[in-house]
Structure 1
């Protein structure tokens, strides 16, 4: 069965980013895609120290095993599709998401590109500004990892928890992107 992992980089587990991600997941579920959500919020996801141990060990993991990153790397490696979601924090992704991207990206690269040819979708929620740089950070990770981005990135507008639900265009885009992701996963089928 086709599987998509959605990683929410928001410290608010039930905030606007989670709500917007779930609209994408709803469409994937409607198309028979198995989905799973992982929350980085409340879990430490320290940044990369450039220790190069992952390059020496070549075991598909970061040498630091005291946080959620290695579990995320495993789930991302097993999935056919990856959704990364982050609210805008000072015009970019959250520190948790950046820690995941840096460490998972390096581990993937030195272990024969673990995430290549996986279908990716970035999701962000902003209050006023910063969506472009936040999406770019996640899309750059996807591009450098050899992933295929499915359609338009998902952007929502909201501040108070739940207010993204009033962003009709953002919700519509999330559903359209979920349909596009399901279609692309189906079109690609089993690939190596």
Structure 2
């Protein structure tokens, strides 16, 4: 059979009803991956060099301008620094608690929908396996109805149709899990940047307190 001449509409239709949720999973996974890529690209451009700018303004005792710069960036780093500036008059322990909580909230926001990708990656092959089991049950029911007098072509046709859902499930799961791992890596890098900016802020506040 020439692979390029396959009618993929009919090919997929032979997989049974479970092909539909598998295809829905693939569309949903692609949409989530694309949305997160666009979101991260916007956040990266907004937060570049922000921590250094805010610390520099604070060093010049321009607290109000520093707060406005952080707030107007509309970035995870900006929101963390804005909350840190509001709490900079507090003791060191309270300030660190505020920064940690703000960072955790931003990381949670950055991770939005990523767990859904992991779920899709887990259920897609299971849906495919379920489709295969259902297909095999139907094949053996046909064998029983025909009294065991089944030629090889009839049996082979039923089996490959049953296996089709497993192939589709794996085809969806593999790139989905790769996308999930990639996005997790992006979140980890953003978290590291937030922590780096927070350390720079805390270090500056500590130097100010020492001068006093």
Tell me whether the two structures share a fold, i.e. TM-score over 0.5: no
The structure where strand makes up a greater share of residues is: 1
The structure where helix makes up a greater share of residues is: 2
TM-score (norm 2): 0.25
Q: Which has the larger radius of gyration?
A: 2
TM-score (norm 1): 0.27
